[in-house]
C-alpha cells in the first residue's frame, strides 16, 4: 500500500515491543519513530525494530512531521495526558486499554480528539479480530436463542514486587483496570449483540474484590452486571490469581464457549468457537486469519482514520466501558491514592 500510515510509539515497555513487531507485518502502516523517557532506551528499541527517529522525551515525537499516528503504551495513569497532548499536536491516536483511569478522563480524551479532529481508539485488539466478529454474528443470528448469562474471565498470577506496574498503586495497578476492562467490554458487546445493538450498558453493577496486602490495589475481583431483558454477566479479573481465561455464553437454546477470547492467533492462525445447541453434537467454528493480531488492530486504525473512530471500539463504547469500570471499582471499594483528594 502506498502512503502507509506513519506510526510513532510512546513508551518502550512490554506491549510496545509486541506492537512494533506486528507493525512489520501490517499492510497499512510503518513504524517511523519511538520515544521513551530515556534516549538510550529509545535508541535500543529503535535498533531492535529498525526505527531511526528515536527520542528521549515524549514531547519530541509529537513534533515529528513523519508521525501521523501515535500508539500510547504507558501505564494507565499517563494515557489521558499523552492522548490529550497528541490530539493537540494533531496526531491520530491508538491508546492502550483502559483508555483512562475513569470515565472523567475518557470524556476529556474524547473531547480533545473531537475538537482537534483526530482519530482515537482504545486498543482492545480482540475487538478487531475476526473471531470476535464471528461471535457477534452467531449471537445476532440466534445460534443459542435468547442470551441469558455471560461469564467472562481474564485473570492471571503475576509474581511481581509491589513496585511493578501490575500492582503499583501510583501506576494504576490491579486486575479490574488491567484485565477486567476486557471482561466488561465483552459483556457489554455480547449483551448489545443479543439486543440488536452495537453494545449495551448494564443497569446495575455489583462486585467484590481482594486487595494487595501492601499496595491496596485489587489482586482479584468478581463482578455481576445486570443488562435489560434479564441478561446477566458474571465477570472475574485478577493479577494475583490464575484462572481459566474463557468466555461462556448461555442462551435459551444452547451455549457458546470461546476458549481463547482475548489474544487469539497472535501471529495469525486458527482459533475456535464451540457451540452446544441443546441436544445436538458439539459444533466447532474455526476462525482463520493470516494476519498478526496487533497488525489487524493497526489496520483497523488506518481503515477508519477518516471517520475518526472505528466501530470495533467507538468513543461511545469506550465511555460506556469506563462508566462500568468506575461502578465496579466503587462496588469493591477500590480508590487509588491519586484519587483520594480529588
Ligand X SMILES: NC(=O)c1ccc[n+]([C@@H]2O[C@H](COP(=O)([O-])OP(=O)(O)OC[C@H]3O[C@@H](n4cnc5c(N)ncnc54)[C@H](OP(=O)(O)O)[C@@H]3O)[C@@H](O)[C@H]2O)c1
Which residues would be at the binding site for ligand X (CB under 6 A)?
Answer: 11-16, 36-38, 41, 73-76, 78, 96-97, 123, 125, 165, 171, 178
**From CA 10, how far away is CA 70, in angstroms rounded?**
7
- Which C-beta is closer to ligand X: that of 50 or that of 230? 50
- Which C-beta is closer to ligand X: that of 112 or that of 178? 178
Alpha carbon of residue 295 to chain centroid: 15
DSSP symbol at 268: B
Cell of 6: 506513519
- Which C-beta is closer to ligand X: that of 19 or that of 199? 19
Q: How far is the CB of 267 from ligand X (least distance, A)?
A: 14
DSSP 16-36: HHHHHHHHTT-SSEEEEEEE-
Q: How far is the CB of 44 from ligand X (least distance, A)?
A: 10
Q: How far is the CB of 204 from ligand X (least distance, A)?
A: 26
- Which C-beta is closer to ligand X: that of 29 or that of 251? 29
Q: Which helix (H) or strand (E) holds 51?
A: none
- Which C-beta is closer to ligand X: that of 4 or that of 164? 164
Q: How far is the CB of 13 from ligand X (least distance, A)?
A: 2
- Which C-beta is closer to ligand X: that of 22 or that of 139? 22
Count other Cβ atoms within 10 Å, centred on residue 186. Answer: 26
- Which C-beta is closer to ligand X: that of 11 or that of 70? 11
Q: How far is the CB of 132 from ligand X (least distance, A)?
A: 14
**From CA 302, how far away is CA 306, in angstroms rounded?**
8
Do 188 and 268 form a contact (C-beta atoms < 8 A)? no
Bridge partners for 209 per DSSP: 221
Quote helix, strand, coil % in the chain, to nearest 5: 40, 25, 35
Q: How far is the CB of 33 from ligand X (least distance, A)?
A: 13
Q: How far is the CB of 73 from ligand X (least distance, A)?
A: 5
**From CA 166, how far away is CA 299, in angstroms rounded?**
28
Cell 448461555 belongs to which residue? 250
- Please give, one letter per residue, the 3-state secondary structure of 92-136: EEEECCCCCCCHHHHHHHHHHHHHCCCCEEECCHHHHCHHHHHHH
Cell of 55: 527520542
- Which C-beta is closer to ligand X: that of 104 or that of 197? 104
3-state class (DSSP) for residue 175: helix
Count other Cβ atoms within 10 Å, centred on residue 92. Answer: 26
Which residue has the CB atom at the shortest distance from ligand X?
A: 13
Q: How far is the CB of 166 from ligand X (least distance, A)?
A: 8
Q: How far is the CB of 330 from ligand X (least distance, A)?
A: 20
Give Cα separations from 127 to 139, 163, 215, 248 (angstroms). 15, 31, 31, 17
- Which C-beta is closer to ligand X: that of 187 or that of 237? 237
Give the β-pairing of 92-95 and 69-72.
parallel
Amino acid at each position: 500500500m502506498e502512503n502507509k500510515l506513519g506510526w510513532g510509539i510512546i513508551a518502550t515497555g512490554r506491549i510496545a515491543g509486541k506492537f512494533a513487531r506486528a507493525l512489520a507485518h501490517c499492510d497499512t502502516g510503518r513504524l517511523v519513530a519511538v520515544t521513551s523517557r530515556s534516549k538510550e532506551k529509545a535508541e535500543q528499541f529503535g535498533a531492535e525494530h529498525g526505527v531511526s527517529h528515536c527520542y528521549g522525551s515524549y514531547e519530541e515525537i509529537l513534533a515529528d512531521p513523519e508521525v501521523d499516528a501515535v500508539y500510547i503504551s504507558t501505564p494507565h495513569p499517563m494515557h489521558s495526558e499523552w492522548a490529550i497532548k497528541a490530539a493537540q499536536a494533531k496526531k491520530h491516536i491508538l491508546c492502550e486499554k483502559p483508555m483512562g483511569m475513569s470515565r472523567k478522563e475518557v470524556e476529556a480524551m474524547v473531547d480533545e480528539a473531537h475538537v482537534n479532529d483526530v482519530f482515537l481508539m482504545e486498543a482492545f485488539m480482540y475487538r478487531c479480530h475476526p473471531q470476535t466478529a464471528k461471535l457477534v454474528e452467531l449471537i445476532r443470528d440466534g445460534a443459542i436463542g435468547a442470551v441469558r448469562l455471560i461469564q467472562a474471565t481474564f485473570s492471571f498470577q503475576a509474581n511481581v514486587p509491589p513496585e511493578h506496574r501490575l500492582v503499583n498503586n501510583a501506576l494504576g495497578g490491579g486486575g479490574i483496570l488491567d484485565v477486567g476492562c476486557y471482561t466488561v467490554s465483552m459483556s457489554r458487546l455480547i449483551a448489545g449483540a443479543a439486543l440488536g445493538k452495537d453494545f449495551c450498558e448494564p443497569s446495575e453493577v455489583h462486585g467484590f474484590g481482594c486487595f494487595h496486602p501492601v499496595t491496596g490495589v485489587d489482586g482479584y475481583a468478581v463482578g455481576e452486571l445486570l443488562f435489560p431483558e434479564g441478561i446477566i454477566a458474571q465477570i472475574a479479573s485478577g493479577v494475583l490469581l490464575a484462572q481459566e481465561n474463557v468466555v461462556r455464553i448461555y442462551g435459551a437454546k444452547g451455549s457458546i464457549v470461546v476458549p481463547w477470547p482475548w489474544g487469539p492467533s497472535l501471529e495469525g492462525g486458527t482459533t475456535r468457537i464451540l457451540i452446544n445447541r441443546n441436544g445436538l453434537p458439539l459444533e466447532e467454528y474455526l476462525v482463520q486469519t493470516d494476519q498478526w493480531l496487533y497488525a489487524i488492530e493497526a489496520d483497523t486504525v488506518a481503515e477508519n482514520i477518516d471517520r475518526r473512530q472505528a466501530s470495533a471500539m467507538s468513543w461511545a463504547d469506550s465511555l460506556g466501558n469506563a462508566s462500568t469500570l468506575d461502578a465496579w471499582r466503587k462496588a469493591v471499594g477500590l480508590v487509588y491514592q491519586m484519587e483520594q483528594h480529588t
